[in-house]
Structure 1
Amino acid sequence: MPGVLKNIDYTDPFTRYKGQKIIDVVKKLGFKFEVPLDLAIDIHYALYLPFPELVNLDQIPYGSEKHYFLIKSLLSLDETKRLRYYTVADSFASVTIGAMVLMYLFEELNRENIDIENKMRGSEGSSMKSAARSNDSTERSLSDKDVQSLKESVQRAVAKALENVETVKEIEHLVYGYRAGIGHTLSLDDDAALVLRLVRNTDIKLLLERLARMPSISSLIKRKKVRFSRGEIEGYIFGSDLERVVPTEFAYPDIYFYAKLADNRLLLYDKFLSLSLGPLYVLIDKSGSMEGEKIRWAKATALALFIRSRIERRPFYIRFFDSEPFNVIKVRANAKPSEVLELLEYIARVKSGGGTDISKAIITACNDIVKHGVKKVSDIILITDGEDRIAKSLVKRSLTQASARLISVMIMGENEDLKKISDKYFRVVKLSDKEMLSVVEA
C-alpha cells in the first residue's frame, strides 16, 4: 500500500532504496518481523524532510488508517521535533535513527500484545466492508482508544530513541572526523547496523559521553609544520627569498627594490609544509589491577589520542596487553568508516584481567612499526598501573630501531625503570579530564 506523506514518489527507486535500508538495518539487528516498505519510507522522510506533510485522510486507501495515524502521531510529538534536530537533511542519521524508532515501536506494540501486521494493515473483514460502503471519513477513523494507544506507543518509542541519539551523533562525528577538523568523502550508511549495535553497548556510551565533556581536541592539537619555500601560503613575512616574493613588490623602481632586497625587507609569502609523522601507537595494560575506572579512563584516553591522530593525519595503532600482547588494530590516516567502527568495537570488547609484562608489549609495538617499514618518527603511548621490572637495554634498542618516542602514563603508581627509558613520563592520580588532555598534548 502507498505511504501517507505528500510529494513523495513511492515508486521512485531511490525512495524505495532508503526505505529498504531501514528494513535491512532492522533485520541485521535480529528483528524478524515483517516491515512494510512504505512505512519504512514514511519514517525516513518524516525525519529527513524539513517540512513533511500528511495527505488528507480521505485520500488514503482503505486499510491504511493505522499507518496514517502512526505517522500522524510521530509528526505531532514534541519529542519528534527534538529528534528531527539531529536528522533533518542528514541521510545517515535519518536511516539509523529511523531504524531505531522502528525497532522501539515494534517492541512497544509487542509489549501490548498487539498484532503487528494488523497494526500496519488496518481493520479487515466486516469493518473494511462497512468502511467501503460509507463515504463518511469519520467511519474510516480508528476509535479514540485505538488512536490514543497508538500515540502512546509511538511516544515511548521516540523517547527511547531520543535517549540514544547523542551517542549516534558522537559515533558519526568520531568516524567522519568532525572532531578532528577534517572532512569526509565516504558514507556511513552501509554501517548503520554496526553503529546501532555500538549504541547499545554501555561501555561505548560512557566513553563517548566522557569525550563529549572534554574541550575540543582540534583546538588544542595542530599539525606540526616547517617553513618551506614550496609549501602552503599561511601569511606574509619580510625577507630576501626571491622565490617567495609577493608580486606587488616588483612594481617598485629597481633601485628601491634592490635596496629592500639588501635590507631583507621584501614582502614574502610565509609558506609552510606539514610534517609527515609515523603512527601513533597506544599500548593499554588490561591486567586485573586495571579493572573499573582505570581501564575506562585508559580507553577514553585512547579514543582522544585517536582524534589527535586524525588531526595529524597519521596512522593509529592500538594494542591491549597483560602478560601477553593482544591483537593489534590498525586504522589508516584515510580510514574507511568500517575501520573506525571496528576500532570502537574492539575497545568496547576488551575486559581487564591477567598479569603484566610491559617489556614484551613495548618490544612488540616496536617490531610492528619496523615490520610495516615506517621511516618517520613514531610515538608509543603506554598506559599502565604496573610496577613491572623493565628490560631497559633491550627496550631502548627496540625503540631506537623503530625511531619511536616512548610516552609513559603511570596510573596511580610509580615505575622508576619506566621513567628512565621514557621520553616523557606522566603520573596520573585523579583520572581526570585535565590529566587526559595532558597525555593527548604530549
Structure 2
Amino acid sequence: MNAEELRKLFDLDRPLSPSPSSAEDSTTSPFSSPSPSTTPSGNPTALQVDSWGLRRGDDLLRDSPRLQSFALDEYAIADFHTAAFEPEPQLLDDCQDPARRAFLVELFQTPEYQALHAGTRLDEVSSEITTLHFAEQFAALRNASATAEPEIATLKAVSRAVLAAREEVDQCREAITALGGGLGPGTPGSVDPKAIAQLFQRVRQDPTLRRICELAGRYRRLAQSSQRRKCAHGQDDLVGVTTSGDLAQLLPHELVRLGIPELELDTLRRLAERQCLARDYQSLEPVGKGPIVVVIDESGSMAGDKVQTAKALALALAWIARQQRRWCGLIAYSGDTGERLLSLPPTRWEESEVLDWLGAFLGGGSTLDVPIVELPWMVEQLWAPPGITDVLILTDAICSIPPELQQNFLAWKSLVSARVISLVLADTAGDLATLCDEVHLVQSLEVTETALGSVLSI
C-alpha cells in the first residue's frame, strides 16, 4: 500500500465540507451554471457532511448504476445519504446548488420525513434505499421544465420521494424479518449491510419470493396474536425485567411515556426496536420440545398461489420455532419426483439457503404426495434434539394409503411423540385423517381461516 492509498483509506485526501469563506477555492459544481470566468460561491453540499459522509456518497455513486443514471455528483449523493443516515442532519447557510438545498429544506419540514427518518437513521441498508429515492426525485425535479410555482413542484417531488422510500424500506424490513434476519437493535440474523442489501435485491427481483415474504408478514402477525392468547405453564412466574417490544408486557412507566408528547416518539422508536423495559416471565415446560416440521406438497396441482401461501405459512411456523427455541424443518415433497429438506436451528439461519428453498418448486407428483414412508428418516436428517415433535402437513391431495404404511407411520409417531396436524385444501382428507391428531379441511390458506389460528398456536 503506497502513501496515496493510505491517505485515501483514512480520508486524509479530502477536507470537510468547506466553509463559505473558502468557497472560492472549491471546484465547480456540475449542477450550477456559472459563467466561464467565475467560480460558484457556497458549499458543494447543502448539509454539514464529514469526510466519512463524503466518501460514502462517492462509494454509493460508484457502486450503483441506477444512481449514476441520475447524473448527480458525489456531493448530492452525500447530502441525500446524510439526510437519511445521520441522527440530526444540519443544513448549511448556502450551497452551490440552491435547488438541492431548497429540496432538503422542504424535505425536513414534512412529518412524513420525520417518521421515515426515525427508522432509517444509523441504519445503513434503509439509508441506501432512501438515498436512491431522494436522488431519483430530485433528478426528475431538476430535469423538469421550469414551472410558475417551483415551490409546489419541489413539495410534490419531496412527497413522492418519501412515499416511495417508505414503501421500499417497509418491504425490505418485511423480507429480512421473514427470512430470519433483522434490522435494528435486538434483532437476530445477518447485520452485514451488503448481505442484507443483496438478499433484498433478490427478493425484489423475484415476484414469487416477494409474494411469499409479503404473505409471511401477515401470518407472523397472526402467529404473534395466537401465541399471546395461548395459555402457557409458568406464565405467572415473574423473574425479572427484560427489553421487549411486546406492548402487553411493558412496565407501567413505559406505558406512561407513551402519553407524554415529549417522550412519545422516542418510546415508539424503542418499542419498534424491542428496547422497552418489560416484565420477564419464566415459562416452564414439563418435557423437552423437539422440532417443528412443516411438510409442503409440491406436486403440480399446488403450483401458484397455493404453494406460495403454504411457504409463507411455513415461515411463520419457523418464526414460532425460533421464539420457542426449537429447531424447525422445512420439507418440500412431490411423490416420486423428489424432496427438498432445510434444517433451521433456533439461533442463526442462512438466509440465502432459505431463499433457495422458497424459490424452488418440484412439480410432478405421484399417487401419494405426502411423505408417509419417508418422513421418519427426513426428521432424522434434521439433526434436531429429541422431544415432542409437531408436524404440519399442507396438501391438496386426497390420500389413499395402504394399511401397512398406516401402521408403520403410527408406530413411528408414537415412538418420537409426534403430534401431526394436516391442512387439506380439499373437501376430504382421505386416509390421511386416520394418521393425524387434527385435520382441517380449508378452501384456502387466507389469514381469515379459523383453522390457521389453531395451527399457529402450537
* Residue 4 of structure 1 pairs with residue 45 of structure 2: yes
Task: Tell me the equivalent position of 1:243.
Answer: none
Q: Give distance in 2, aligned partners of 1:31 and 1:341.
A: 28
CA 1:366–1:81: 2 relative to 1, 3 Å:
same
> Offset of 1:304 from its aligned partner?
1.9
The one-letter code matched in structure 1 to 2:49 is: I
Letter of the structure 1 residue corresponding to residue 226 of structure 2: L
The answer to which of 160-169 and 354-363 deviates more is: 354-363
Q: Is the 8 A contact 1:283 1:318 kept in 2?
A: yes
Cα–Cα, structure 1 residues 46 and 272, in superposed 2: closer, same or farther, change >3 Å?
closer
Partner of 1:245: none
In the other structure, the counterpart of 2:82 is 45
CA contact (8 A) 2:181 2:189 kept: no
Determine the structure 1 residue equivalent to 2:170.
166
Q: C-alpha displacement at 1:370, in angstroms?
A: 1.5
Residue type matched to 1:55 in 2?
L
Q: 2:169 and 2:282 mapped to 1: Cα distance?
A: 43
Q: CA deviation at 1:234?
A: 3.0
Residues 271, 55 of structure 1: CA spacing in aligned structure 2 closer, same or farther, 3 A cutoff? closer
Give the Å deviation of 1:84: 2.8
Aligned position for 2:379 = 369
Q: 1:436 maps to which residue? A: 452
Aligned pair partner of 1:378 in 373, 382, 389: 389
* One-letter code aligned to 1:221: Q
Structure 1: runs of 5 or more not aligned: 120-141, 237-269
Residue in structure 1 matched with residue 93 of structure 2 by the alignment: 56
Answer whether contact 1:396 1:421 (CA < 8 A) is retained. yes
Distance 1:359 1:159, change over 3 A: closer
Q: Does 1:325 align with 2:334?
A: no
Residue aligned with 1:309, SS: helix
Q: 1:40 to 1:363 in 2, by over 3 A?
A: farther
* Aligned match of 2:399: 388
Whether 1:408 and 2:422 are equivalent positions in the alignment is: yes
Amino acid at match of 1:40: I
Per-residue deviation at 1:383?
0.2
Given the superposition, is the C-alpha separation of residues 31 and 312 from structure 1 closer, same or farther in structure 2, using an over 3 Å criterion?
Answer: farther
Matching residue of 2:431: 417
Task: Tell me by how many angstroms 1:167 deviates.
Answer: 1.6
- Asked if the contact 2:130/2:169 (under 8 Å) is kept, the reply is yes
- The reply on whether 1:287 has 2:270 as its aligned counterpart is no
The separation in 2 between residues aligned to 1:282 and 1:143, in whole angstroms, is: 59
Residue 217 of structure 1 corresponds to which residue in structure 2? 223
Distance 1:69 1:320 in 2: 54
Q: Is the 8 A contact 2:333 2:370 kept in 1?
A: no
Given the two structures, how large is their TM-score scaled by the length of structure 2? 0.63
Choose from 361, 365, 388 the match for 1:355. Answer: 365
| Separation in 1, partners of 2:379, 2:211 | 31
Listed one character per residue, the Cα deviations across residues 199-242 of structure 1 (whole Å, up to 9, x for unaligned) are: 45444444454455565523432699767xxx995379xxxxxx
Correspondences of 1:254-265 after superposition (within 5 Å): none
Q: Decide which of 127, 131, 144 is 1:98's aligned counterpart.
A: 131
Distance 1:21 1:35, change over 3 A: same
Q: Match for 1:370: what amino acid?
A: E
Instruction: Classify the secondary structure of the residue corresponding to 1:441.
Output: coil
Letter in 2 for 1:378: T
Change (3 A) 1:5 1:306: farther
Q: CA deviation at 1:279?
A: 2.1
Amino acid at match of 2:338: P
Instruction: Give the C-alpha shift of residue 94 in structure 1.
Output: 2.0
Structure 2 vs 1, CA of residues 176 and 165 (structure 1 numbering), >3 Å: closer, same or farther?
Answer: same
Q: Deviations over 1:231-278 (max 9, x none)?
A: 995379xxxxxxxxxxxxxxxxxxxxxxxxxxxxxxxxx975456422
Q: In 1, are the aligned partners of 2:333 and 2:362 still within 8 Å (CA)?
A: no
Q: CA shift at 1:334, angstroms?
A: 0.9
- Give identity over the alignment, percent: 21
Distance in 2 between residues matched to 1:340 and 1:224, nearest whole Å:
32
Distance in 1 between residues matched to 2:111 and 2:231, nearest whole Å: 47
Distance 1:53 1:88, change over 3 A: same
Shift in alpha-carbon separation, 1:346–1:373, aligned structure 2, 3 A:
closer
1:301 Cα deviation after fit: 1.6
Take 2:356 and 2:298, find their aligned partners in 1: how far apart are those partners? 16
- In the TM superposition, residue 350 of structure 1 has moved relative to its aligned partner by 3.6
Q: Number of residue pairs matched? A: 363
1:395 Cα deviation from its structure 2 partner: 3.2
Question: Which of 187, 194, 200 does residue 199 from structure 2 map onto?
Answer: 194
Report the alpha carbon displacement of residue 362 of structure 1 after superposing the two structures with TM: 4.4
Amino acid aligned to 2:227: I
Matching of residues 53-92 of structure 1 within 5 Å: 53-57=90-94, 60=95, 68=101, 71-72=104-105, 74-75=107-108, 80-81=113-114, 83-92=116-125
